[in-house]
Structures are given as C-alpha cells and as structure tokens.
Structure 1
Amino acid sequence: MKSRRFLWLFLGLLALLLPSFAGACVDCAAFGKIGVIVVDMQGDFTTLKKGSLAVKGTDEAFVQKVEKATVDLAKHGFVIFGTQDWHPADHVSFYINHDGKKPFEMIQVNGKPQVLWPPHCIQGTENARVLLNNNLFLAIVKKGQDTRFDSYSGFQDDGGAKTEMAKILKRNGIQKVVVYGIATDYCVKATALDAKKAGFKVIVVEDLCKGVAPGSTQKALEEMTAAGITVIKTLDLKKIRDL
C-alpha cells in the first residue's frame, strides 16, 4: 500500500515537472541543431574588468546582454561553443617581447604583418577567463597558444594550424552557426570567415558584438557580407531559423 502511494506521489510530481522541462526548450525541434560561437568574452577585452586590451563599450551592461542572449539561445536548443585567447607570456604578438617596440606598432613576423599588442589573456590569469557562465558551453576552444603565431580565428592560427573547432561542430551535427562577441573587426570577423570557409552557414549578430574602431568595424561587416555571411542587427530567432 505504501509503495503504491509512493508511486502515485512520484507520478504526480513528474506531471508537475514535465511542463517546466518542455518550456525550457521552446521550439527546439523547429530550430534543429544550430551552433553558437561566443568569441573571446574575456576580461582583458572588456572595460568591465579594466582589461589591458579593452574594447570601448564592453561594460557590465554589454557583458550581461551577451550572457542573457546566450542563455536564451541555450533554452531554445542552440548548442553553445566559445573561443578563448590563451597566450603564453612570451607570445610573439606582445610588444614587450620585442626590444624598443611600442603597443600597436606593426612589424613583420614570418613574412606577415603583425600588430604588436599589450600583453593580454595570458594563460592562467584572471583576465584570461571567459566571463560568461562556463556551464553554458559544450566546449570552449582555446587559441593563440603557439608562441610563434597570432590567432584571431577560432578555427586556426596565422600559421595555419587548426584548432578543434570545426571537428567539434561537425561531430555535433552543426551546419549553421551564430557568431558574436569581441571584437567585430578582429576575432569575430576572422572566426566568422573561417566558419564560412569550413562549410557552415554563418550568421553574425551585430549588436552582440563590439568593434575596436568604427571604420574597421564597418569594413569588417561589409567583408563578412561579401563573403556570404548573414549579418543581422539584433538577435531574431525566427530569422535565424528561416535562413
């Protein structure tokens, strides 16, 4: 008798909980498996954390906006991935590793132009960590670990060495990706372009990105559009689904 009462109690609780679980993934079937790549949402790129390479407008409100959008996408069944700059202290892109050089000077490295940056996102430091709730991500792909090469893209470094990003996306059945983060004119652009080259349908959400400079940001948006990437002003789930 007691076991029967327990069974009915369990079934009653289950009936109450099931609508909540279903509501947590509204329209999952309609959207299918779409990936999200959140690019470099790290302390050193934000004014919120007074980062060494902070991009204008990356304050607490922006970080919270990006986190809220990412949570909403996860609730709708989107699969969340991230990129993370993860440099050794002696990285080639740091001006302090080149005698007599200053931040933002341009030099030649391995026959290619290289901007010299202030040290940023050094492995294991507080401002290298991803600011969003890490439990949102299926995977966070580290980049820029090879001291010899810079790496703006989440798919490969400037030396051509591939990250695991493309393999992870394909292994999870992803064919379409939504890309946003920091910075529009550098790592967002490079990641979106490489995603397109890797065969994914790519959507960039403009107001979930921040760029370093207005001119280069506008040029980046135009370059991505010309490459066949869809740039949308704001997050629009219906538009993303229909593309």
Structure 2
Amino acid sequence: MIDRKEENTAVLVVDVQGDFTQLMNGSLAVEGTDQAYLDQVTAETRRLKSLGFPVFATQDWHPADHISFVTMHKGHVPFDVIDLNGTDQILWPPHCIQNTPNAEVLVDNGLLEAIVKKGMDPRYDSYSGFFDDGNHDTGLDALLKTHGITDLIMFGLTTDYCARATAMDARSLGYGVRLIRNLCRGVAPDTTGTAIEKMADVGVVMV
C-alpha cells in the first residue's frame, strides 16, 4: 500500500468515464464497473490526494464522426477488426462523444490538477494518454514535466487498452510506473492477461 508522499510522483487516473461503466449503462461498459468500483476509485484517489500526490486524469473525447466508431463503416458490426492505414482497427460502438454526459470523468474533478483529453482527431484512435495512433502528442508529457513528475501511480479503464497503452508509453518516455491492478478493469480476460504481461515486460510494477 502506498501510504506516504513520494517526491516527483503523481497519480494518473485513466478514462474513468461513464461510457466505460456499468454504473452509467455505458455503450462500452466493462464488467465490474458498478457503484462499488467507482466508490473504490474515488476513495483511493481522495486518499492519495490527501497524502500530497498531485492527481491527473485522461479523458476520451471523441468527435461524433470518429474513425473508430462502427457507425462510420457500413457493413460492419461492433468489434469487427479492419485494416486502417496498415493498422488493425477495432470498430467500437460510439462512446465518449464530446459534450455528452457519458464522456465526463466520474472522479470528483475537484481532486484533479488537470484532465488531458485524447482521441479528438477523427482520423486516429487514441488509447494512450500520451499519443494517438498518428503519433500526435496529447500534451500529457509536457504537463507532467512542468510539475517535475518522474514517476506515476496509475489506475483506471481499461487494463487491456487505454491503461496498457498509457503505461507503456509512459515507460518509453522514461517514467517509473506502478499500476494498481485492483482499481483497473479489463475488456476481456485474454487481452487483459496479455496486457499485464506486456506491461511487466517493459518494467511496469503491479501493486
């Protein structure tokens, strides 16, 4: 358990938004994301904040015509995988559309230093909080460096997609990363297991 302030360390809450939760009947609701889960996340965020850790969050913030939405691809159904510019693209149900209630970050925004939006370019998916699939920078790295952050404590949604991609990009940028596993939820057991292995391989510490 993390029970004291650590210098140059921040908390990063990944994509805890309505469309990923059962609590809000989200279009991409992940198993185990009910009121109890949100209460857990909120309590731990509040506790870490009270210890003196700055807290940041990422937020999927898609335009309605985002390329990852199945509604943009006639003849396909949700979760089909297509080739898009040489990359496998999963076609998702529309989710986290800008200025809709289920796009909001559910953790008390008063606890957050800043919310970094991602996935705003309709041409590219953006699992990572640092870069989209077109390698465009979200500004998160610069923001953390401005605050003197070298290490991250991470949790959120989902283990196998956005949390994984954010953690792995953080490691590639030189950050130390600890992932609080019991405050994450994954889309599917197989992809979650693979994600945990890949994160461990690059030095993400599971706590």
Q: TM tier, shorter chain?
A: over 0.9
Q: Tell me which amino acid in the other structure corresponds to 1:189.
A: R
The match for 1:44 among 5, 12, 19 is 19
Query: Judging changes above 3 Å, is the alpha-carbon distance between structure 1 residues 27 and 56 closer, same or farther for their aligned structure 2 residues?
Result: closer
Q: Tell me which amino acid in the other structure corresponds to 2:157.
A: I
Identity %: 51
State the distance in 2 between where 1:113 and 1:135 align. Answer: 37
Residue correspondences, number: 205
Q: What TM-score, normalized to structure 1?
A: 0.83
1:70 aligns to what?
45
**Local SS of the residue matching 2:155:** strand
Cα RMSD (Å) = 0.9
Q: What TM-score, normalized to structure 2?
A: 0.97
Question: Does 2:97 correspond to 1:100?
Answer: no
State the distance in 1 between where 2:190 and 2:74 align. Answer: 30
Structure 1: tracts of 5 or more residues without a match: 1-25, 233-243
Higher helix proportion, which one?
1
**Local SS of the residue matching 1:190:** helix
**Local SS of the residue matching 1:223:** helix
Query: Judging changes above 3 Å, is the alpha-carbon distance between structure 1 residues 124 and 225 closer, same or farther for their aligned structure 2 residues?
Result: same
User: Contact 1:180–1:208 (CA<8 Å) still a contact in 2?
Assistant: yes
* CA radius of gyration, larger in: 1
State the distance in 2 between where 1:165 and 1:36 align. Answer: 13
1:125 aligns to what?
100
How far residue 100 of structure 1 moved from its aligned partner, in angstroms, is 1.1
How far residue 33 of structure 1 moved from its aligned partner, in angstroms, is 3.0
Q: Tell me which amino acid in the other structure corresponds to 1:66.
A: V
Q: 1:54-65 to 2 correspondence within 5 Å?
A: 54-65=29-40
State the distance in 1 between where 2:4 and 2:126 align. Answer: 36
Q: Deviations over 1:43-89 (max 9, x none)?
A: 00000000000000000000110010000000111110000000000
1:190 aligns to what?
165
Q: 1:1-243 to 2 correspondence within 5 Å?
A: 27-28=4-5, 31-232=6-207
Q: Tell me which amino acid in the other structure corresponds to 1:60.
A: Q
User: Contact 1:33–1:79 (CA<8 Å) still a contact in 2?
Assistant: no
User: Contact 1:32–1:77 (CA<8 Å) still a contact in 2?
Assistant: no
Runs of 4+ in 1 over 2 A off after TM superposition: none
State the distance in 2 between where 1:152 and 1:44 align. Answer: 15
1:21 aligns to what?
none
How far residue 27 of structure 1 moved from its aligned partner, in angstroms, is 4.5
